[in-house]
Amino acid sequence: MPVVSRSIPLPHRVTAGELAELAFGELTGDDREVSGVAPVQTAGEDEVAYLERGFAGRAGVLYARVAIPGRTVIVVPDPLVAFAGLLECIKEPAFEGPIHPTARVSPSAVVDPGVVIGADCVVGDGTHLFPNVVLYARTRLGRNCRIHAGTVLGADGFRYHASGTGPIKVPQVGGVDIGDDVEIGANCTIDRGFLSDTVLGRGCKLDNMVHVGHNCRLGSYVIVAAQTGISGSCVIGDGVVIGGQVGVADHTVIGAGAKIGAQSGLHGEIPRGETWLGTPALPISVMRRVYAMTKDLPAMWRDWGRKP
């Protein structure tokens, strides 16, 4: 499943020196210009990124703790704090008044009460937004989707960075990209990505009160039952079925066609096509034996000479 990633444009071209001044950092290397920000994994020579897990990539300008020979680096005590400060400067307002003059609305479109659509959103043909649905900026919906009442798409991902002065909010400037024929139940929340997009593939079906964290990527025809919470940066393959009240830890990978039992707790990697359940989740063949053994624990405790 490809990562949907983009360069976030700066309001105008800026020099590395200007960025260093903004971050109270030390510029090393050429004082070159950049025009956008991007994840370090995909950033090009015209973009700025921050050094992450020791990977420098091809970014034209980097925030880092130390200079890197042959590279333009802004040396700062905490690269993510400096990068977050830049994002805060370029992040757009969530909403701008009742109807923006550049909005293009089809004459055949019908908008239910309380629906709010932010800047740079796209709603495909035949898609139905029920009352009180909110689309934050850069949310894109495919064709023939149904988004039920009270659902919020594109709110900030939950990310804070520990610093000497307490938790610092890391702005989220990605978007949400939802494919055709998706149905999302009432009071669901799908967070925007950090720099890339949160993605739901074609034909996904989410029950009521499901949360999908920032930067998650769900494949096609994924089914998720009510009250499930999926933490950030998870990858869920095509045709996965997830029961109700499941908790999925961040960066979990669930292989295509896997099935997850209700109230399971997942982390790590779940092989494709397998059925897992329990907390922590285990293959169903193992967990059935665990459940069968549980009812015998009081008798086993007595047999060992202990009081029940």
For residue 145, count CB atoms less than 10 angstroms from its CB and return exposed for 0-12, middle for 13-18, buried for 19 or more.
buried
Q: Residue 258's closest CA among 245, 242, 247?
A: 242
One DSSP character per residue, 238-270 reads: TT-EE-TT-EE-TT-EE-TT-EE-TT-EE-SEE
**Among residues 123, 136, 237, which one has the least CA distance to residue 180?**
123
How many whole angstroms separate alpha carbon 178 and alpha carbon 308?
Answer: 53
Active-site residue identified among 128, 214, 251, 267: 214
Does the active-site annotation cover 12? no
Pairing outcome for strands 183-184 and 146-147? parallel
Positions marked active-site: 214
